[in-house]
Structure 1
Amino acid sequence: MKKELLFVTAAAATFLSACQNTTHRVDRFDNIRIQQMEANRVSRDWFEKVVVCLNARREVRADGTADHFLLLEHTPIPDFTLAPGESLTVLVDGTRYAFTPTNSPAAIVSRPGFTTLTYRATPQHFVAIANGSKVELRLKGTSTAVEKRLARASIGEFKSYLLKYFQTPAESPNAPITKSAQRN
């Protein structure tokens, strides 16, 4: 009985830690504090051919200024080449937001099996997505496009991220932290 209870407790703890999808760390090489959503799946279908995750990221420098990014992760798409220019379009309740790929000042580590694309955004984009009732995205390639509608749970993750990291002013990277990435 004790072994079963221990197993159930360990399984529940593992499950709950896997459900928490934000990280907070300091990139010591670039002296940037990073607050990022991770593994926020756009749709929750079980047997999708292409898995797409849309995440938010804020990078705070020592002087207090911050850059904001949308990170789009996707599993490999056969014969897909990203279109030049505005390759990501997000429709929030009929309002169109277009994004061009860019690079982040801090290093971005892609998850195994995923391609990660970085798009510069503003906090207002995050708020629009979090408050939207119908949010859709299109990732344009040169010959194909991937279109997805964000699930309510995915939109809820944006709300949780905003409530967690945008209630107080961002701390500079010089504030004390633990040695490893802090998982929230």
Structure 2
Amino acid sequence: MRDGSKTGKEIDDHDYVIRMNGALIKGHEEDVRNRTSVYVHTAHSTTSRYFFKKYEYTSAPADEGIKYVMIPETMRDYQWLTGLLRRRRVNRQCPFRNSRPWTYYGGQFDERHFYVLHPDFLRYARNRFWKSCNLNANYWATVRPTNGAFAIFTALYTCDIVSAYGFITEDYNNYFFETGKTQVVFYVNHDYNLQKDTCKKLLNY
């Protein structure tokens, strides 16, 4: 999906809208609309407000009744989660030390609407559904699907019909809100080509 796709109404017409990471909406409503039912994230992706500040991104989506789904990626996520649920600053020596996690959710955080994906579910998704040949490399422990892939897998397990927008394309189109040609960086912990090919297979299933 590119900027100018005008698929916003189509997206919002779904029963549920799942977004993840830097879910930038402001200024792009015609393409992505503005409703969010579920926000899938890691502790790291909640800090997108720093990475995307220049695009006027301020916080994770905070719609009334929104469900937050967290992917426990590393120990830092559990440290974030501890601070979040106790309403305390993160006091462990980690990238989020002294952060106040509950302030990253746009003032709508409610632990009754907060969910954490089970590590066994994440391992199953990684080892069976998004199994990368990089799992045989010496850095296998860092290899995992992207948050977007986990979001798709979670949706497939809970919804009758799943539509996907804005994922990587054959020409490696990057974030929809970036104008002009941008450099796409492939990190070793994510197998982007596997995810692209898997999504194509699902689409044709």
**Could you tell me the TM-score, scaled by structure 1's length?**
0.26
Q: Larger relative CO (CA 8 A, sep 6+): 1 or 2?
A: 1
**Could you tell me the TM-score, scaled by structure 2's length?**
0.25
Q: Which has the larger radius of gyration?
A: 1
Q: Normalized per residue, which structure has more strand?
A: 1
